[in-house]
Amino acid sequence: MRYNILFGGAAGQGPNILGEILSKALNKCGYYVFYSRDYQSLIRGGHNFNVLTFSEDPIYSNDSKMDVVIALDENTEKIHKKDLKKNGILMNAKKENMYFAGAVFKILGIDFKILDDELKILEKRYEENLKNSKEGYNEEKRKLCKLEKKKLKGTFYNGSLGISEGAVKSGLDIYYAYPMTPATPVLTELAGNQVKNNYLVLELENEIAVILAAIGSSITGAKTMVGTSGGGFDLMSESLSMAGIAEIPLVLYLAQRPGPASGVPTYTSQGDLNLARHAGHGEFSRIVLAPGDPKECEELTSQAFYFSQNFKLPAILLSDKHLAESFYTIYKIPKLTKSKKMINLKKFNSYEWNAEGTSTEDAKEINLGVKRRLKIIEDVKKESEKFEMIKSYGKKGSKNLVILWGSTKGAVLDAVKELDCEVLQILYMEPFPIDAVKKLISKKNIILVENNSTAQLGQLIAEKTGIIIEDKNKILRYDGRPFLADELNIEIKKRLK
């Protein structure tokens, strides 16, 4: 069983709140929910829609075909009527959003009391919402299913909350940022809880100031983190290079969206893996981690703090709009890595430096500096082997292997459920788990799934292992939209051996 419900309307009409209420209610009834948002770069008007997929089994993605389309405006009906399944239900009464909340509860056969509870939690305009939703519940006569209450106890959160939670639990002292979609939800989340949780959140004049201030705080011993998207990360790269030579711990959250330049601000992409790996001039060590769901966001954030403090280097967390803003039902508790503060204030330098911390142009001392940084890379490699750098799912030993990273995990795992293939997720991009990947991928029919146009993980695998994935086996999506499980299932199936 797997149902898809689409809520669409103009920005300001409230499709978000509608979806959130239903998601939470379904969650409380014991169902797995995956909930994503598609919105434009505007504040009022336009066309926004959210898709809620739910199931009694774990799910991590949406499908392309809808069981229910809720159209808060005519535009939604026009655009999404074609997405309805043959017997799908279209709700297009010219009513307020809470009317539809009642109606959808009715067609799913959920007790009205559960909706009432959610409206009470929402508090705002309770009486009005109750009246509207009751009307919808009573007037709606169609039926999709009758949901039984189940015992699942999951948490419902998105990647941004995972990153924030991971940072706070890792002992974050200061988060510096400049607002930029889709990194802003982490800024908002952290800012809201700063006094209660005893850390500081600051917005400075630009991303250059953001990373510099973070570096300044870092060298006093504080645990600092910055957050941005591609363009802001570009501005940070000069200072990233400084953190590299000066050996300063710093966690950078890079939430990807389609580029180049301003690209498509509110949509999703995995186009900045190469940026994260290569940004900054000169040769220095860094960590690049790519979580694939909110739980991994939390875990890898704690690992980013651990590595950055212990090895005194920048650690980059790669997310994207799809992971940052989609809600997942997570039923396992994240395993976090503890980290101590390792920095004492001394002389740090953006020039090549000597034992005193002052600048040097001496050939011997330059050699020492370069070798010290090379050794950090080696030490990090060794230490990283203690962590889960890759994960494998599906049918072990199958001759087919689907490779993914980051947010495509959800759609791939949902797409391959019935297929004869093993799945490899790579979480550590830098250092790269060369031996483990080599072992798994040799002599396999490799299928690569990425949300970009140049297969950047494919490039990385080729660079590190010498194995080149055939172009026809690369499933790439680069229209700003995430993969949908049903469509991806067909694409993978075509390429199985």
Partner 1 sequence: MKKIKKLPLETKHKPTWCPGCPNFMILAGVKKAIEATGKKREDFAMVAGIGCHAKIFDYLNLPGLNSLHGRVPPVCLGLKIGNPNLKVLGFSGDGDAYAEGIEHTLHAARYNSNWTYIVHNNQTFSLTTGQPTPVTEKGFKDKTTPLGVNTEPFNPIKIMLAAGASFVARVFADVDSVAWVLKEAINHKGFSFVEILQPCIIFHKEMLEYKKNIYSLEESGHDKTNYVAAMRKAEEFDYNTINKIPVGIFYQTKKPIFEEQFPQIKKLGKDD
- Positions touching partner 1 (CB under 8 A) are 171, 173-174, 176, 194-195, 198-200, 202, 204-206, 208-210, 212-222, 224, 238-239, 242, 246, 340-341, 345-351, 356-359
Our CB check for partner 1 shows the closer of 26 and 213 to be: 213
Q: Would you say 31 or 233 has its CB closer to partner 1?
A: 233
* Residues contacting 86, CB < 8 A, separation 6+: none
Closest separation between CB of residue 291 and partner 1, Å?
23
Residue 160 beta carbon to partner 1: minimum distance, rounded to whole angstroms: 21
The Cα 285–Cα 311 span in angstroms is: 9
What secondary structure does DSSP assign to 219-282, as a single string?
TTT--EEEEE-HHHHHHHHHHHHHHHHHT--EEEEEEE-S-STT--TTS---TTHHHHHH-SSS
Task: Write down the least CB distance from residue 195 to partner 1, Å.
Answer: 5
Q: Which C-beta is closer to partner 1: that of 220 or that of 442?
A: 220
Q: How far apart are CA 194 and CA 190, in angstroms?
A: 6
Least Å distance, CB 434 to partner 1, is 33
Instruction: Compute the distance between CA of residue 72 and CA of residue 133 in angstroms, rounded to an integer.
Output: 14
Q: Is 126 helix (H, G, I), strand (E, B) or coil?
A: helix
Between CA 33 and CA 154 the distance in angstroms is 10
Beta carbon nearer to partner 1, 148 or 283: 283
- State the minimum distance, in angstroms, from the CB of residue 150 to partner 1: 40
The H or E element spanning position 5 is strand 2-11
CA end-to-end span of the chain, whole Å? 28
CB of 350 to partner 1, least distance (A): 5
**Cβ nearer to partner 1, comparing 126 with 351:** 351
> Distances from the Cα of 56 to the Cαs of 98, 152, 474, in angstroms?
25, 9, 31
Nearer to partner 1, 262 or 358 (CB): 358
Provide, rounded to whole angstroms, the least separation between the CB of residue 213 and partner 1.
Answer: 4
Please state the closest distance from residue 202 (CB atom) to partner 1, in A.
7
235 vs 390, which CB is nearer to partner 1? Answer: 235
- Cα(268)–Cα(256) distance, integer angstroms: 7
Rounded-to-integer distance, Cα 234 and Cα 437, Å:
30
Nearer to partner 1, 309 or 452 (CB): 309
Within 124-193, strands assigned E span 155-158, 174-177
